[in-house]
Amino acid sequence: MARIPDRFIDELLARVDIVEVIERRVPLKKAGREWTACCPFHNERTPSFYVSPAKQFFHCFGCGAHGSAIKFLMDFERLDFQDAIEELAQPLGLSVPYEGGGDRGPGELSPLYGVLDEAANWFRDELARNAEAMAYCMQRGLDAETLQRFRIGWAPGHWDGLLRALGGGAAKLQWMEQAGLVARNEQGRWYDRFRDRLMIPILDRRGRVIAFGGRVIDKREGAGSGPKYLNSPETALFHKGRELFGLWQVRQASSTVERIVVVEGYLDAIALHQHGMPIAVATLGTSTTAEHAELLFRAAPDVVFCFDGDRAGRAAAWRALESTLPRLRDGRQAFFLFLPEGEDPDSLVRQEGGSAFVERLADAMPLSQYFFDHLAADVNTSTIDGRARLAERARPLLARLPDGAFRDLMQVALRERTGVTLTPPPLPATHSGAGQGSLDRAPASNRRSLVREAIAALLADPALAGTVSPPWAFASLDRPGIGLLAELLDVARARPGAPVAALLEHFASRPEANALNRLAMVTYPEGHDLRADFQGALSRLNQQARGARFEALARRLQQQGLDAQEKAEYLALHALRRQGQA
């Protein structure tokens, strides 16, 4: 996939005013050197959301939300990383560079967006001209406002209707092929991929057409016209495992979505929107993927998966649960609603009405209940063997849950059902070496540790990294956060002038991100000597590392002796020790 270089992200975050970015969306009030507000990501009465213009990042002490202007747009506007970068760069007149192989940058793909939008407009016009297709829409209860909101259209049955309508020569034809609108047969003749189908545009998170779903109308099903649903093929713009139909419309309906409903079909989602539930999205003919799950929870804290009650629906629900487990951080919830056999959301909401369907959603099964019910379906938990089987089935799945209250409670629930207590997982290592646990895992007695003191000072003034040089003697210490400190120093030295927000962005997807953001919120009085704090902490850490090495060599000397190089090192450390430096 094309990559945005770090140097551009550093420049962007140095030029962006995070206060201005956030204040356009959330009312801020000045509070000393910072700005504050009620957090836009959780309900609260007392402001705990702080924005630091000096460090160019935000942090909520209530729910833990934090990050740079990029992260704020990703969470608030529900944009992906590249779209958030584009959104910030545009007002500054910056062109986002993309490097490396894989997907191309948005600028190079403009013609693709163009032909897809042209096609959507042509399909819409064709629907208005086709009485049979319009009658089908009316039969399905799709009113004019819904047809317009979802840009629904019609692909006539001609082999080359769209080809002739869009025209434009060889270059245009190439873009139409790359957009998945046309294809070529064995004789080399071009033809429209979609024919005789109701056309439903699939929009990306910025409202641009990236693909289509085509549905044959009832009268033609099974009449040799191919599958009921036909999606666009995978293209440079469209990857069905990463997109959700209807998400754009959900975001347009409300800036704060508390709950989102996942259904299997386009018309199911559209029907729920039309019946007063603009919170429905649909997967695109594929199982719920990890990318889908992350998109869903980025859009709303509560997700309801709505499936048919038959075997296929329950299999799809379990796959959705497996994709969801690793993303169930505290504050996120998943539910499962199984419909009566033979019914789908479209048919049911048209029969019962929107209010009845809302009541069904309120009675949806919590993930925890579905999890244990499914795993214990063929297990006799009244026997030791049965309880052991349930525990073994649950163990690898519970291990996929992120640390937090939900994971703890799920383990308690398993113990209540089976009597088995799962062994706590080992503390996660940093990316800088095994055995150096996450800083966030440090025990309470280490809250004011030298490691934290050094990192807090460095995040207050990243230029301090330029006052020291590797190799880092302290890196040999087996202590929480040591690897993180060494890596942070390396990143800051490699990116001189990068703002604090850029350094935090580098670690945004890492387990250490929460601890770093808390340390970045540490404030110092005016005139405080940060350099003395930073170099003093590193000096003491280096001294401790030399002391630990001396002790290790002393033990080795007593047990098996030292070679010449080790003996020289031992004597040098012994001299430093006598001087109080080891």
Q: What is the pLDDT of residues 242-297, one digit of tens each?
A: 899 999 999 888 877 889 999 998 999 999 999 999 999 999 878 899 889 988 98
Per-residue pLDDT reduced to its tens digit, 158-212: 899 999 999 878 889 999 999 999 999 888 899 999 999 999 999 987 789 999 9
Closest listed residue to residue 427, CA positions, set 403, 410, 445, 455:
403
pLDDT category at 218 given cuts 50, 70, 90 is low
Which of residues 103, 133, 153 is at a domain's end? 103
Query: What pLDDT shows up at residue 386?
Result: 92
In a domain, 186, yes or no: yes
Report pLDDT for 421: 83
Prediction pTM value: 0.64
pLDDT digits (tens, 9 = 90+) for 12-50: 998 999 999 998 888 899 988 899 998 888 777 789 999
Residues 79, 119 within the same domain: no
What pLDDT does residue 582 have? 55
| Residues 52 and 114 reside in one and the same domain | no
Query: For the ranges 335-344, 373-382, 485-494, 551-560, which has the lowest average pLDDT?
Result: 551-560
The reply to whether 342 falls in a domain is no
Whether the per-residue pLDDT at 326 is higher than 60: the answer is yes
CATH code of the domain in which 71 resides: 3.90.580.10
Which helix H or strand E contains 559, and what residues bound it?
A: helix 530-559
- The residue range of the domain holding 153 is 108-238
Residues 61 and 25 placed together within one structural domain of the fold: yes
Please give the tally of structural domains in the chain: 4
Give the residue from 93, 358, 96, 73 showing the smallest Cα distance to 206: 73
Residues 457 and 556 in one domain: yes
Mean of the per-residue pLDDT values of the chain: 85
- Confidence check: pLDDT of 423 > 70: no
89 and 174 in a single domain? The answer is no
Q: What residue has token string 């992200």?
A: 9
Domain-ending residue, one of 64, 83, 103: 103
Cβ–Cβ under 8 Å, residues 153 and 125: yes
Q: For residue range 455-480, what is the model confidence (pLDDT) as tens digits?
A: 999 999 999 999 998 888 888 888 88
Distances (CA, A) of 431 to 87, 318, 475: 31, 32, 13
φ/ψ of 554, rounded to 5, equals: -65, -40
Whether residues 456 and 574 fall in one domain: yes
Does 339 fall in a domain? no
Same domain as 512, residue 394: no
Average pLDDT over residues 332-348: 92
425 pLDDT more than 50: no
Q: What is the largest CA-CA distance in the chain?
A: 96
